[in-house]
Amino acid sequence: MSDSIILGIESSCDDTSAAIIKGNSILSNIAANQEIHKEYGGVVPELASRAHQQNIIPVVEKSLTKANIQQNAISAIGFTRGPGLLGSLLVGTSFAKSLAMSLDVPLIEVNHLQAHILAHFIEDANPMPPKFPFLCLTVSGGHTMIVLVKDYFDMEILGKTIDDAAGEAFDKIGKIFDLDYPAGPIIDRLAKEGNPEAFKFNKPKLENYDYSFSGIKTSVLYFIQKEVKKNPDFIKDNLNDLCASVQRSIVEILMAKLEKAAKELEIKEVAIAGGVSANSALRKAMQDNNEKLGWNIYIPKFEYTTDNAAMIAMVAQLKFERGEFTDLRTSATAKYDL
Ligand code: KG4
Ligand code: ZN
């Protein structure tokens, strides 16, 4: 891999992030989170867009300072073109275009989902990068899918959620428990002190590699409504057990289809990616399958799981090597297939 220096910019949802990569080694990876959405229990698109506008210049400047890089050392600029919230994407896209124009360097568009998967090729993401072909369970707040990765830019979606994403399920169920947004990491933390066998929730029965998470959300909601009638403090009294049980159910749903795909396709190279891959129970389940099923597992370093610009810079580097540049007339796109 060439050791060109590339700036990556990510602004697809509620994190404004900038990273500098040299070859496949990350020199800086800066993110500004948007606390404002906590008050609303979810991401408010208009507020996200405005916060990106405020954050983008300081975040990019910080990424350069931290990496000890001058602007004129940058060979190209990579940015998330989609999928995501249009108003958010527009901020990163416009900024990347202007900077590429003023520095007179190539502009490189990046698909956010590809980036979650290709984050595995960042030098310090894994002790070893995955070998093609591998399976990648890509799980975030907006997506849940099993991807067959045949090569860097040759990916096939084997199955995906037909309703909510796994992260969305964590967040919506967290809301039922009156937890802050995003609830995924909070449920993970509270589950550590709870009994995962305490409560049982409905599991979807889908034939192929598709997922469904709206059933478990409804099942939790009805269960809570029933119990709270008997004991108004039911959630408070059982919070750790509730979180552990929900987490167990979601992880079991995720792993069942991944195991089915690995078995049927006879693939033992198995990776996870996206925000939910930070989940400790999912990581543990992967570890167990390394021992039980002989999987070679790839779990990215924590900082490359939730939205970050390091993964955007990584894809931009791979495209830079291939000479795949983007016209300056490009625009952001909310929907963007793999
Ligand atoms: O990839 P990401 O940062 O953004 C999207 O592209 O959606 O994923 C965010 C999602 C949120 O739903 C959040 O609750 C979930 O990832 N998440 C977790 C954990 N950390 C983040 N879910 C469960 N356990 C975690 N430790
Ligand atoms: Zn993401």
User: Residue 269: which H helix or E strand, with range?
Assistant: strand 269-273
What pLDDT does 175 receive? Answer: 95
Q: How far is the CA of 113 from the centre of ligand 1 (A)?
A: 14
The tally of domains found in the chain comes to: 2
Q: How far is the CA of 114 from the centre of ligand 1 (A)?
A: 16
Residues, beta carbon < 5 Å, ion ligand 2:
140, 307
Q: How far is the CA of 1 from the centre of ligand 2 (A)?
A: 25
Atom of ligand 1 nearest to the CA of 167: 12
What pLDDT does 173 receive? Answer: 97
The three-state secondary structure class of 42 is coil
Q: Is 171 assigned to a binding site?
A: yes
Residues 293 and 225 in one domain: yes
- Residue 289, domain member (yes or no): yes
State how far the Cα of 97 lies from the Cα of 103, in Å rounded to an integer.
10
Atom of ligand 1 nearest to the CA of 112: 6
Residues 72 and 199 in one domain: no
Note whether 14 and 48 are within 8 A (CB): yes
The 10 Å CB-count burial string (b at 16+, else e) for 206-236 is eeebbbbbebbbebbeebbeebeeeeeebbe
- Residue 125, domain member (yes or no): no
Structural domain that includes position 295: 131-299
Per-residue pLDDT tens digits of the chain, which is 338 residues long = 889 999 999 999 888 999 999 999 999 999 998 777 777 777 888 888 898 899 999 999 999 999 999 999 999 999 999 999 999 999 999 999 999 999 999 999 999 999 999 999 999 999 999 999 999 999 999 999 999 999 999 999 999 999 999 999 999 999 999 999 999 999 999 999 999 999 999 888 898 999 999 999 999 999 999 999 999 999 999 999 999 999 999 999 999 999 999 999 999 999 999 999 999 999 999 999 999 999 999 999 999 999 999 999 999 999 999 999 999 999 999 999 98
- Residue 332, domain member (yes or no): no
CATH number assigned to the domain comprising residue 291: 3.30.420.40
Q: Whose CA is nearest to atom 22 of ligand 1?
A: 184
- Residue 153, domain member (yes or no): yes
Mutual angle of helices 166-176 and 184-191, in 10-degree steps: 70
Q: Is 231 assigned to a binding site?
A: no
Closest of 232, 243, 279, 276 to residue 140, by C-alpha: 276
Q: How far is the CA of 68 from the centre of ligand 1 (A)?
A: 30
- Residue 334, domain member (yes or no): no
What pLDDT does 10 receive? Answer: 98
What pLDDT does 12 receive? Answer: 94
What pLDDT does 53 receive? Answer: 93
- Residue 336, domain member (yes or no): no
- Residue 330, domain member (yes or no): no
Q: Which residues line ligand 1 (CB under 6 A)?
A: 13, 140-142, 167, 170-171, 182-185, 188, 274-276, 278-279, 306-307
State how far the Cα of 231 lies from the Cα of 126, in Å rounded to an integer.
47
Residues 143 and 69 in one domain: no
- Residue 159, domain member (yes or no): yes
For 97, list phi and psi in degrees, rounded to 5. -65, -45
Q: Is 249 assigned to a binding site?
A: no
Residues 109 and 179 in one domain: no
Residues 152 and 79 in one domain: no
Residues 154 and 280 in one domain: yes
pTM score of the predicted model? 0.95
Q: Whose CA is nearest to atom 16 of ligand 1?
A: 275
Residues 232 and 285 in one domain: yes
Atom of ligand 1 nearest to the CA of 165: 12
Residues 108 and 165 in one domain: no
Q: Is 24 assigned to a binding site?
A: no
Closest of 109, 130, 108 to residue 119, by C-alpha: 130
Residues 52 and 167 in one domain: no
What pLDDT does 136 receive? Answer: 98
Closest of 332, 322, 324, 314 to residue 6, by C-alpha: 314
